[in-house]
Copies of this chain bind each other. A is one copy, B any other.
Amino acid sequence: MKQRTDEEHNAKMKKVQAAQAKKIATKTVEKGLIIVHTGPGKGKTSAALGMAVRAIGHGMKVGIVQFVKGAMATGEKAVFDRFPDLVEFKPMGEGFTWDTQDRARDIAVAREAWEEVKRMIADPEYKMVIADELNIVLRYDYLPTEEVLEALAAKPEMKHVIITGRNAPQALIDAADLVTEMAQVKHPFREQNVKAQAGIEF
């Protein structure tokens, strides 16, 4: 960035501020958002957990259902369990689908987890609902995407719903308000043989 004098800088910043103020003035809508975190990169689940933290901090009740990670003790569970009035945290999966090797059981587990999500979406007490790794379940056809779209279409207007997992179906992206694709620029698993570590992956 070319070096400006302080005066030039401050004049420029005045202009940027005015432009920002004008832009923000047009942003008046408040609504519950359908948010999708997808893509092959990292940060899909952790960004959802970060939003849960923000919501809890504002006294909003948050429901979290994990479709895959149920079998392992995670750091997030230890923290969220400290806020029993504000967070209902349900790790309901039984592990990766290649670990269970039982499709009928995977489907039953996915169905059970989805019923929890549906309940939280319908219940006005929850201001934010996170369906973690739901996209994986949809990708394997363990749950019809149409059913998810229906529940989202019927959600209370102010409720935020966050859905994570790679390979989000296009119909879900179309229905969402905010979609972020996490792209992998560099990943230590691949390049340096680094294993999954506490505080990062779980």
Residue numbers of A with Cβ under 8 A of B are: 1, 3, 6, 9-10, 13-14, 16-17, 20, 24, 26-31, 33, 35-39, 41-43, 45-51, 53-58, 60, 74-80, 82-83, 96-104, 127-128, 139-141, 160, 173, 176-189, 192-202
Contact of A195 among B29, B41, B141, B194 (CB under 8 A): B29
Identical subunits present: 2
B102 touches A10 (CB 8 A): yes
Query: Which of B28, B57, B141, B160 meets A200, CB within 8 Å?
Result: B160
| CB-based contact B56/A180 at 8 Å | no
Query: What residues of chain B lie closer than 8 Å to A51, measured between beta carbons?
Result: 46, 199-200
Choice from B31, B80, B97, B189 contacting A27 with Cβ under 8 Å: B189
Q: Report Cα–Cα, A79/B178, bound state, in Å.
A: 25
Asked if A55 contacts B186 (CB within 8 A), the reply is no
In the assembly, what is the distance between CA of A70 and CA of B180, in Å?
Answer: 25
Which residues of B lie under 8 Å from residue A39 when comparing CB positions? 183
Select the residue from A9, A56, A186 with max chain B CB neighbours within 10 A: A186
Return the contact of A56 from the options B3, B6, B75, B186 (Cβ within 8 A). Answer: B75
Given A101-B14, A180-B182, residue A76 in contact with residue B50 (CB < 8 A):
yes
CB of A73, distance to nearest CB on chain B (Å): 9
User: Would A17 and B50 be within 8 Å (CB), given that A180-B41, A189-B27 are in contact?
Assistant: no
Given A1-B139, A177-B186, A200-B51 in contact, is the A58-B46 Cβ separation under 8 Å?
A: no
- Other than the given A33-B188, A79-B83, 5 more pairs (CB < 8 A) read A43-B50, A48-B50, A56-B79, A178-B188, A179-B185
CA distance A187 to B56 in the complex (A): 23
**Can you give 6 contacting A-B residue pairs, CB < 8 Å?**
A48-B50, A55-B199, A57-B77, A58-B75, A60-B199, A177-B188
